[in-house]
Amino acid sequence: MRIDLTGKTALVTGSTQGIGRAIAATLADAGARVAINGRRAEGVTATIDELREESGSRELVAATGDVSDATGADEVLTATGDVDILINNLGIFGSMPALEIDDDEWRRYFEVNVLAAVRLIRSSLPGMTARGWGRVLNIASDSAIVIPAEMIHYGVSKTALLGVSRGFAKEAAGTGVTVNSVVAGPTHTGGVEKFVYELVDPDLPWDEAQREFMRLHRPQSLLQRLIEPEEIANLVAYLSSPLASATTGAAVRVDGGYVDSILP
């Protein structure tokens, strides 16, 4: 099975680090022209330089801008050009007692985690349907299904993203464009390392801290370890390809068996 994205342009939001960076690298290795997105030009430039140093064959373009803002999203889309593959990866998370999450914080999570994706889909979908081909993937989370007590605002925003995916899949019905969610499980990124140390002894070495976090806070994981970003990227690459033409409106799990359900 060979994934070939030659001739396709992909926009990966929040792709200067973590899962987004891994997705961008994997799509570029499959032949796509990939737009690297971040809020700061220096971060975008540094990421592109690093990715090209890893593999000189990658076709990458800078798409700097804050997609949680309408003006920033327009700048990103202008820099990218026609989008064939839209990966809405940008997201924020953090722990906070439920009763201390005020209205402004709820709004901030929905602006970044939900409305940024809606805005980019709304702008990109008409071109995809006109061309008769396209892929939209929204990177959701196990927290969308198993709402974590320590960050319900994050979980609820990701639940909303599942609904966004299903709704826009209906809008794209019969056009050759697919819209799906990827339900990512607990993943090893720099941000997650910081989050882990907020919940376990900060003096523990990383391997011990990771095991303690999974034991105390994610005991239902069948993988019993954090997922590596490249493992998420592999599923995203498949769903972005012509091989996944019959998968749409779905919430596809790459969660290490974390969600204790046979569906989705």
Give catalytic residues, as residue numbers.
154
Q: Classify each residue of 55-81 as buried b or exposed e, where b means 16 or more C-beta atoms within 10 Å of its C-beta.
A: eeebebbbbbbbbbbeebbebbbebbe
d(CA 164, CA 30): 27
CA distances from 100 to 107, 132, 154, 201, 226 (A): 14, 47, 14, 23, 28
CA-based nearest residue to 164, from 181, 151, 178: 181
CB 115 within 8 A of CB 68: yes
CB 37 within 8 A of CB 31: no
User: What are the beta bridge partners of residue 139?
Assistant: 182
Report, in angstroms and rounded to the nearest whole number, the Rg of the chain calculated over CA atoms. 18
CA-based nearest residue to 26, from 38, 14, 37, 34: 34
